[in-house]
Structure 1
Amino acid sequence: MGRKVPTGQASIEVPGLGQVQGRLYSNDVRQYYGIPYGRLSKRWTRASMVTSWDGGFHNGTKPGNLTFPIRKHYPSPPEYEDGNDMLVPVPETDQFKGNWLASDTDCLRLNITQPPPPPSGRSTEGGPYPVLVYLHGGGFVVGGPHLPIFDGAHFVSRSVSQGNPIVFVAIGYRIGLGGFLASKEIQDDLARDGFSGAGNFGLTDQQLGLAWVQKYISAFNGDESRITLCGESAGGFSVAHQMNALEPPKFIDRAIFMSGTNNIMASWPVERWQFYYDELLRYVGIDPNSPDTLAQLREVPEPVLTAATFPIYHNDFPLYSACQDELFPMRVADTDLATSLPDWLEAVMVGATHDEGSLWRSVLRNFSGDNEILERFKSHMDSTQAHLILAKYLPGVDVDRATLLKGLEEMARDAFFSMPNYMLSRGRSRPLGKDVYVYHTDQVSTLDNPVKGLAYHAIDLYYIFLNGLDTMSEGQARLAFKMADDFIHFTNAIEPYPSFSQEKKCMVYGPEDKWEVKTEEADDAERGYTRMAEIIDGGLYERFWNAMDDIVADRYRVDLVLERRED
């Protein structure tokens, strides 16, 4: 019941590109790794689509040794080790082990998992199938489709066995400084090359990857008219950005937001990004007053740039973000965008985990008391408003450490996850009349690591993609198959459970390996809908969001650095 292991090789002809070789499984499911979709001429520029393969061939199997580096991803900071993430603790199978070489200029690649092709000579049977395109999370700092949690073999195999086949695509894009650094210098350089914007290279990579999928997915028996875009965490944030971009991918007909919408992270103006650009220059020894800083940065070795990811952020838990420019104009805590989505989307699924706020536990535990929190809140609202909000999460005064941490984590969960989902589900269902499906993951981890006992951020990935079955009990496995089936049904335009739009009900996965559809009234005590509604309807959400962003992102640290520079 565990991970799928390839039993042979497969190949397919892609018109205009050539032949791609991949892996074959015993059930005739096929996988093709590291397919290049974009090319880069230099750092910090827009990519161009790959429309030809060298020699008309791409080897999409696991290479035998490092002399054949065909599957590359964007490098992670030295503080993070790929394949050793407690949030997605999936062991590597042979085809996902090693040889995923890091490159900041040759990383625009995607993996495709394909159901069995139609029988020879019977092309009218077996497809084309709907496509699920996945954008990984990781705070725009780490992650990529090379990680074993995103192995689509079991997920697609499940879709086939249940009679609802899908094609699964996982797109890699530039992250970290290579993917999101922005500045006036970069903006001017892009303009000289005929491009718009000031950064957001990871987001435009995603757009290019989606365009590549629309153009070529039919060769993999995928239906280019039935594409669902799904993302988790920063990937969900990416889906929101793509839906609200200047040039959105209108060929997407469905969207899934997993633990992330437009309000999970700030979108910074170019002036804020300029601070980090100048910090990077200082870190690598370049004078910010030099006339050719960008040219000098392009000569800095990749490991040196990647090592700067954490130090220049001035935060114990860096999360990079998009730049507010003409291509991606979303603002911080934008309640208008949180309550509406494009009318060309047929349906939306949105969900979060119960203990999302534990993501910032290492930062939140630094606060010693509620008075410290109150003072931080009062820098974003008046005293009455601050007391009003804090009273909903921190009962009484001088609360103990455990109560303080619990309240802070609930505030972080609500500000960045629950409230945006709450607003989206209502805004989406009212003006457009399209279906929105809402889920909550309350299933807690039983793995022996620091997140044991929590329905932590990203635990749903462990279940939905079916790559944790080896460590699951029978009950946990049943829940995993249920969650996977719901995502597969949604991609196939089959109702996975009652829609919020029609019945004002939500799916709850867990705890204790169970699942149940609940009304908001029945689930209010657990979810805190009334508390969230009071903050939103009272016009306090944006202030609440800014206060919590200040707390979890240590925004004041940047202000202190700037003050010291001015002195």
Structure 2
Amino acid sequence: MFRGTVLRAFAAIVLLVGVGKAAPLERDIVPTVTLDKGTFVGLNEGTVYKYLGIPFAQPPVGDLRFNLPVANSPYNGTHSAIALGAACPQQAVSLPIGTGLVADAVAFIVNSIFQIVTGSEEDCLTINVVVPSTATSTSKLPVVAWIFGGGFELGSPGMYDGGVIVERSIELGEPIIYVSMNYRVSAFGFLASQEVKDAGVGNLGLQDQRLALKWIQKYISAFGGDPDKVTIWGESAGAISVAMHMLTNGGDTEGLFRGAFMESGSPIPVGDITHGQAVYDAIVDETGCTGASDTLQCLRELPYTTLKAAVDKSPNIFSFQSLNLAYLPRVDGNFLTDDPQKLVQSGSVADIPFVNGDCDDEGTLFTLVLLNITTEQEVRDYVVQNYVPEISDSDLDTLLTLYPADPTQGSPFDTGILNALTPQFKRLAAMQGDLVFQAPRRFFLQQRSAKQKIWSFLSKRLKALPALGALHASDILDIYGTGEMRDYLVHFVNNLDPNGDTGTTFNWPQYTNDSPQLLTFLDDLTTPLQITQDNYRVDGMQLLTQLSLAEPL
């Protein structure tokens, strides 16, 4: 039963995001677009045209490996743009949870979703554009720029079909252009150490995204887009990335975007880039670069297979350290000048409308690897060793009181005594989900309340999924599938208001501290949407935020 339910649910996700989609039907018109002096030949899929795999940067190989991205040279000649570019190098995933139903579930998730890519290689910095077939160079359509998720370790634009977004926008009479970009992940995009900091080459994945946004400014008009009407949108690591773009540069967007849409990701608590030193040193040692006078340059000069094999030995998102990620954005003194949450406190935030929401059970997926933690003492040890080494005994006591072992209070929430895979599973899932997702979202919204227009949501769909509930990434079903969220996105991209101006959708009120209202997505077919209050687990999230500000990862 458990296996069948999980596999069916995630098979649905795979189908909805367009993986393995049939080849487009033949059409008479061959779409083309001119960029600089180059001509790109795209795909005709009837109501939409797709231009895929366009390089937006020089290949990040050789001396450009572990270096800032360099913009593409002016285009010349004729190029085929009918196939997605290769994914960037993916982090290998190991599953330290043995065998059985839970292991099968995680393996399916990883192998069928996170690892569905178009092949991976270092030369991967490409961008994709999907437009209504009626668009012309004078259409000036709003643009949504999608940043994929995957824990900053996995993923590619090939996991998602932007055509369904554009097609729906046409049906709504609010046509938009969809852009998706590749960016470097794992060590290739988020290597962290003193050496990286000294060289000024931290957060390369975010730098890749920023360069892609500049590419949009330069070229999107040729596709019929309006460079003044760009919304950045992401889920998970993609949503965290969106938040980082809102915080960098003192909050100055440089005119790159005018709105932001974040699913399961906010300004998370991260510390200095030197916090990644141990992982860097392990890669240097594994590759034989230890004795080099410049270890970073040594890593640049390694054969790709040698470097990739060493990177694959570092912890991944499904390792025992779970959401204490080896690779993620960190304070590098350049892209991020401080802990993101402190940047929020100081007002270094883009003054733009934004949407920011979560799934109800964000932590369950990442807690499946902790099934060997079954006692109170083991929970205490894990929290201290993995997340807050300097926590006081009294704060730890309070934290574990606020997140008790009582399964009726754990995640999946609102499922009573069910789903208690171990005596501590639901407790750890609640803590991890709040620490990395729910508490940072609430902190961000509370800090920005009354300063700009903001909306928030909570997805409680798939609540009946055994062990996982309304798990992380389940809201993708509502936006790349057939759910209401897609309409709200289209309205937001057009109007900077998810309600749009048509009055045809369930009204989504703005979020304020006085009235912290959430648009809540439910499985109930008769009442699929309702407004709830963001007032759950207040004391627990406040303590987690307090601990995070004092001791970011």
Normalised by the size of structure 1, how large is the TM-score?
0.77
**Counterparts in 2 of 1:489-500, with a 5 A limit?**
489-493=491-495, 494-496=497-499, 497-500=508-511
Q: Which runs of 5+ in 1 are unaligned?
A: 63-69, 191-196, 467-476, 551-567
What is aligned with 2:186?
176
Give the aligned partner of residue 448 of structure 2.
Answer: 428
Q: How does 1:294-309 map to 2 (within 5 A)?
A: 294-309=296-311
Q: Does structure 1 residue 33 correspond to structure 2 residue 41?
A: no
SS of aligned partner of 1:324? coil
**Relative to 1, partners in 2 of residues 1:131 and 1:90: Cα closer, same or farther, differing over 3 Å?**
same
CA contact (8 A) 2:147 2:235 kept: yes
For residues 332-362 of structure 1, what are the alpha-carbon distances to aligned partners after superposition, in whole Å with 9 as ceiling and x for unaligned? 57355279563531x1100111111013223
Task: Give the aligned residue type for 1:454.
Answer: G
Amino acid of the structure 1 residue aligned with 2:66: W
- Residue identity opposite 1:487 in structure 2: L
> Partner of 1:380: helix, strand, or coil?
coil
What is the SS of the residue equivalent to 1:163?
coil
Secondary structure in structure 2 of the residue aligned to 1:146 = helix
Amino acid at match of 1:238: S
d(CA) in 2 for partners of 1:249, 1:333: 16
Matching of residues 122-133 of structure 1 within 5 Å: 127-133=139-145
Q: Give the SS at the match of 2:276.
A: helix
What SS does the aligned partner of 1:110 have? strand
Distance 1:330 1:405, change over 3 A: farther
Distance 1:485 1:541, change over 3 A: same
Which amino acid in 1 is paired with 2:336? P
Q: Which moved more, 1:108-117 or 1:207-216?
A: 108-117
Shift of 1:13: 2.6
Q: Secondary structure at the match of 1:352?
A: strand
Aligned AA for 1:499? Q
- TM-score normalised per structure 2: 0.79
- Residue 6 of structure 1 corresponds to 24
How does 1:22-101 map onto structure 2 within 5 Å?
Answer: 22-27=42-47, 29-39=48-58, 40=60, 42-53=64-75, 55-62=76-83, 71-79=85-93, 86=109, 100-101=118-119
2:475 corresponds to 1:460: yes
Deviations 1:47-92 (A, max 9, x none): 2111423x42221113xxxxxxx722212134389xx862795799
Matched, 1:167 2:184: no
Residue 208 (str. 1) matches residue 211 (str. 2) = yes
Q: Report the residue type matching 1:102 in the other structure.
A: S
Q: Is the 8 A contact 1:445 1:452 kept in 2?
A: no
Alignment RMSD (CA, Å): 3.3
Structure 1, 293-302 or 232-241: larger mean CA deviation: 293-302
User: 1:258 aligns to what?
Assistant: 263
Per the alignment, residue 125 of structure 2 pairs with: 108
Fraction of identical pairs, as percent: 27
One of 300, 314, 325 as aligned partner of 2:332: 325
SS in 1 for 2:42: strand
Return the letter of the residue paired with 2:510.
S
8 A contact 1:10–1:30 mirrored in 2: no
1:417 CA displacement: 0.9
1:117 match: 134
Match of 1:404 among 398, 409, 424: 424
User: What is the distance in 2 between the residues matched to 1:187 and 1:169?
Assistant: 31
CA separation of 1:499 and 1:49: change in aligned 2, threshold 3 A: same
1:518 aligns with 2:535: no
Equivalent of 2:403 in 393, 414, 422: 393
Take 1:19 and 1:245, find their aligned partners in 2: how far apart are those partners? 34
Q: Which amino acid aligns with 2:54?
A: I
Q: Which amino acid aligns with 2:126?
A: R
CA contact (8 A) 2:174 2:490 kept: yes
Letter in 1 for 2:293: P
**CA shift in 2, pair 1:80/1:306, >3 Å:** farther
Distance in 1, matches of 2:184 and 2:515, equals 40
Whole-angstrom CA distance in 1 between matches of 2:126 and 2:468:
36
Deviation at 1:323, TM superposition (A): 3.2
TM-superposed CA distance for 1:21, in Å, is 1.0
Q: How many Å apart are 1:259 and its aligned residue?
A: 0.7
Compared with structure 1, are the counterparts of its residues 166 and 363 closer, same or farther at alpha carbon in structure 2 (3 Å cutoff)? same
Moved more, 309-318 or 457-466: 309-318
**1:417–1:219 CA distance, 2 compared to 1 (3 A):** same
Aligned length: 486
Aligned to 2:280: 277
Contact 2:490–2:498, Cα closer than 8 Å, also in 1 = no
Q: Distance in 1 between matches of 2:390 and 2:253?
A: 36
State the AA in 2 paired with 1:34.
Answer: G
* Residue equivalent to 2:485: 483
- Corresponding residue of 1:565: none
C-alpha distance in structure 1 between counterparts of 2:240 and 2:189, whole Å:
15
